[in-house]
């Protein structure tokens, strides 16, 4: 569950550089599968001051960053692996729907525990229910972004008819400081 910035997918997989989202409160046993990735680096001064956290549905894969989204409010961005691009639907959740984000140590890794507001929990439940029943490849995922950069795009692996609500955990690497940085990016504090 450690995460390191690296551009070679094979090395990232071998080294175990995984970004993992583990959902709590699933209606049925199961959760979300892990996906390799890297934490985002803010690209502008404004983003460093006020990072944008959002969760979006994955509509499918895209050929490249210049591909048009299937949704007028969608977005095509690089996935957590540098050679893959994802077509994302409109923003479903943002920092306003996060009640709290706290740093937690799990074994030797650090995670950020995200607790949604009641309204945010309802939206996350709808989002994961739709992903759980998706039939087209790639649509069974959600994407977690900071500054329009994917930090995680896990597969929702609960059975169709089930969903995930309440809280979720995002792997933040092997240091407490990386987890604290992610909390700041999620909450904007």
- In angstroms, the CA 152 to CA 55 distance is 10
Alpha helices in the chain (DSSP H): 9-15, 45-49, 118-132, 176-187
Handedness of CA 41, 79, 144, 153 (dihedral sign): negative
Tokens representing 170? 């995002």
Split at pLDDT 50, 70, 90, the class of 116 is very high
pTM of the predicted model as reported, rounded to 2 decimal places: 0.71
The pLDDT value given to residue 173: 81
Q: What are the angstrom distances between the C-alpha of 168 and each of 10, 15, 102, 125, 174?
A: 27, 24, 11, 11, 18
Burial 159-177 (b: 16+ CB within 10 A, else e): eeebbbbbbbbbbbbeeee
pLDDT digits 0-9 by tens, 31-68:
444 334 444 444 444 444 467 899 999 999 999 888 99
96 three-state secondary structure: helix
Q: From the CB of residue 108, how many other CB atoms can be counted at a distance below 10 Å?
A: 8
State mean pLDDT over 129-152. Answer: 92
Q: Where does 69-136 show beta strands of DSSP type E?
A: 75-78, 85-88, 93-94, 98-106, 109-116
The pLDDT value given to residue 188: 79
So where are the chain's domains?
Answer: 9-187
Split at pLDDT 50, 70, 90, the class of 180 is very high
| Architecture (CATH level 2) of domain 9-187 | 2-Layer Sandwich (3.30)
């Amino acid at each position: 569950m450690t995460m390191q910035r690296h551009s070679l997918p094979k090395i990232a997989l071998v080294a175990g550089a995984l970004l993992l989202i583990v959902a709590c409160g699933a209606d049925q046993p199961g959760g979300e599968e892990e996906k390799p990735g890297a934490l985002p680096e803010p690209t502008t001064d404004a983003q460093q001051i006020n990072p944008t956290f959002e969760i979006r549905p994955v509509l499918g894969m895209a050929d490249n960053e210049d591909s048009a989204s299937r949704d007028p409010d969608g977005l095509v961005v690089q996935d957590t692996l540098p050679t893959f691009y994802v077509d994302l639907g409109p923003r479903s959740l943002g920092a306003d729907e996060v009640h709290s984000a706290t740093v937690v140590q799990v074994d030797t890794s650090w995670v950020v525990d995200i607790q949604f507001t009641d309204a945010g929990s309802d939206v996350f439940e709808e989002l994961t229910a739709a992903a759980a029943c998706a039939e087209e490849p790639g649509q069974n995922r959600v994407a977690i972004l900071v500054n329009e950069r994917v930090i995680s795009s896990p597969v929702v692996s609960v059975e169709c008819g089930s969903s995930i609500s309440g809280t979720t955990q995002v792997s933040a690497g092997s240091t407490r400081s990386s987890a604290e940085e992610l909390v700041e990016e999620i909450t904007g504090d």
